[in-house]
Structure 1
């Protein structure tokens, strides 16, 4: 009897999961596993935790939902805690598995972990099979090799859209044969070193982790409200739930795949018509792809101060009081402060806000961009290593921006995107809205 381990990471779904489908097709039984990696909760050299409380809560909700969905198919999720290179081989020995199936990594630390696991598995004569499950376009279908991907997005987009095809999704399995798996005993936030998450009442949306919630959000935004047909006009909004898709948090943990979103978008277009707005969602998913492919191409250079351009940026000696004023929303610039308060109190910030907050730290305060990226890594509920570090490097002028110095005029931006100060008034008032506690 062939038994395999399916190692879930940032692919916490049963629909369109090639890793799971391939494991089922090639084995008699599978053991779905998630390892809560202790290194993901440590403090980075920049002084921030790799995972903050909002994302930790979202992760636990996503794992709970994945376990529920797996149990409906006859299986369950085995949740481990520790180092993957220790815990995954232990499970392999326990169940006498001969293969491990997992999502393929591209970022530096994640790739090193994957290689460490592979090394330990080889000692057990166990193979590791990995699959690309995170992008809209598969890397193998691109019209160029990874090393030859253009460093300018527009060049990448035009050629890819013209010459590459988007693959079909993998259907949800009908049944998953597994030995009996006990319900997971997920750690509480306090056990992970956090206080209970309090979501401010002004939050644009209440994010809840899991594939089930991702499907609800997609159906709401597409078929319930038809907001997707207005997306291009509203995407730079800053107040409310439906100015943008808000898919990013579920995409970041793989609770939903970009190809599934694309499939449902095509269904929507057949029923209600295509327009610039429906195309623009594909455009944004392409940006997400691009940063992942850039991470694969440039590897550790994506995390260097000089970036992929090897360009030294003029920065000041770190003034931590100044940085803290930015982090706490107390710079005196009302547009930046409102955005930073939203991030602090909800774990979310609009795309427009992120660009302005990053530009202000890099170009007005002359701070090393990596500290901002590290703070966002801790704080964002939708943190994705490729998109976060790629976007920060882009705004800092050391990434993929073809312009050498993209400086945002914050006052003009505020006037253009918050003309009536609705957003600033919402977040800069003095009363406390943090009464809604999620435990």
Structure 2
């Protein structure tokens, strides 16, 4: 053994399976001290007035930390839970418990890298070793067929080269036991929603799934989707759905916090292909994992540019900052039923389909012309499956300042509604008030006379909003 005590600082890697930092710590340390820190900076209000991390994602995080502690306890260990700046809290724990090393997962974006750098600098001054591990992607950074600073700017090129020249490493084994110090005095309690200024939240009964955080729940969802319901074989055909639990895998919330490893999912796909069926759908789920990889490597390549208004293309555009229109979009009050239904799903459940995300993002940036970063920030707060690289990468893509090889991509909202909600089931699901209005076409901007609005008293404020803008046909 190289170290007497190693702190394993958990971040967006809240699992025990395929955990590089934990696996290495078990090999190099006599005693392991797992630590998680709730960083209050992640729960502050942003300039637009909402919290950086909203209630749904906060609840999912709390559940994931609770599950991690329970899993560690089952192996003879435990989890120290603290609140504060991790770069300070972890160093305090090093001093308190005489740890000799800190192992953690490497992140790639600005705020997370700054925390890492501060922690490593403080540890170096104390003579404490630090080791960072790459473990958020399907393809390991060392196995890419090009240096990280030369990642292709077009996804198709990235995917083809990785598929041809890179291999997916095997998952790390689950630990069978963990040697945890028996003289630690205060392990800390896991906070609840009220700690961060939220009242109790409940996933809307209209939502696609009652998402519960944690490694156990993530594995349970995979077992159900792949093996019990046998849905992987039709994933490609159903993935653009809007209603119900099973039109797509819904793995994203567990991937976002690292409750599920992408390599674990990959190995389960290979097993499914061997035991059940191999087709375009089984490949397509891996394809989506590669998309997730791509945005992470793009963020590593471009750094803080992914958060700047001109994006990675340095395109100067005349974005406006119309807060009134933004909040109508955010609250599902644009007067465009298909847009509003998707935003209401997000606000009431913390989730939205991939198709819906593209549509509402396109509407905000292309129809309303509003600063795309406002939309990205709102998604960061509201989405239960928010992951920094995928979120900001996708918003850049839609806004035309990212990795989209096509110029000025535009989603025709009415055409999208006709293609993906032809009978209006999704709109009626989230805006049930409008179903009984005579002569109402759910795929058109909704305009009624004042007398009609008063008579039917639909939607918010007893009226359904007049459309914010004209729609391109």
Q: Please state which band the TM-score falls in when normalised by the shorter chain.
A: over 0.9
Report the equivalent of 1:436.
none
Q: Does 1:327 align with 2:330?
A: yes
State the number of aligned residues: 431
Report the equivalent of 1:271.
275
Picking from 2, 5, 9, the partner of 1:3 is: 5
Distance 1:355 1:55 in 2: 20
How far is 1:245 from its partner? 0.4
Q: Deviations over 1:308-361 (max 9, x none)?
A: 000012223x22111111000010000000000000000000000000000000
Distance 1:151 1:344 in 2: 33
Matches within 5 A, 1:396-415: 396-415=399-418
Report the equivalent of 2:292.
288
How far is 1:183 from its partner? 6.0
- Cα pair 1:48 1:374 within 8 Å, conserved: no
Distance 1:267 1:249 in 2: 23
Matches within 5 A, 1:132-211: 132-180=134-182, 184-211=188-215
How far is 1:44 from its partner? 2.5
How far is 1:231 from its partner? 0.2
Matches within 5 A, 1:253-268: 253-268=257-272
Report the equivalent of 2:29.
27
Q: Does 1:424 align with 2:427?
A: yes
Distance 1:298 1:289 in 2: 14
TM-score normalised by length of structure 1: 0.96
Deviation larger for 44-53 or 379-388: 44-53
Report the equivalent of 1:104.
106
Report the equivalent of 2:18.
16
Q: Does 1:383 align with 2:386?
A: yes
Report SS of the residue matched to 2:32: strand
TM-score normalised by length of structure 2: 0.90
Q: Deviations over 1:293-313 (max 9, x none)?
A: 000000000011000000012
Distance 1:394 1:372 in 2: 13
Structure of higher RCO (CA pairs closer than 8 Å, 6+ residues apart): 1
Q: Deviations over 1:98-156 (max 9, x none)?
A: 10000001001100011111111112211210001100000110100011110000010
Distance 1:176 1:283 in 2: 35
Matches within 5 A, 1:212-231: 212-231=216-235
Picking from 356, 359, 362, the partner of 1:356 is: 359
How far is 1:30 from its partner? 0.6
Report the equivalent of 1:246.
250
Report the equivalent of 2:64.
62
Matches within 5 A, 1:306-325: 306-316=310-320, 318-325=321-328
How far is 1:198 from its partner? 2.3
Report the equivalent of 2:51.
49
Q: Deviations over 1:179-233 (max 9, x none)?
A: 1366641111111111111221100000000000000000000001111110000
Report SS of the residue matched to 2:9: strand
Matches within 5 A, 1:68-79: 68-79=70-81
Matches within 5 A, 1:74-89: 74-89=76-91
Report SS of the residue matched to 2:6: strand
Unaligned 5+ runs, structure 2: 435-473
Picking from 304, 308, 314, the partner of 1:304 is: 308
Q: Of the two, which has the highest radius of gyration?
A: 2
Q: Does 1:371 align with 2:374?
A: yes
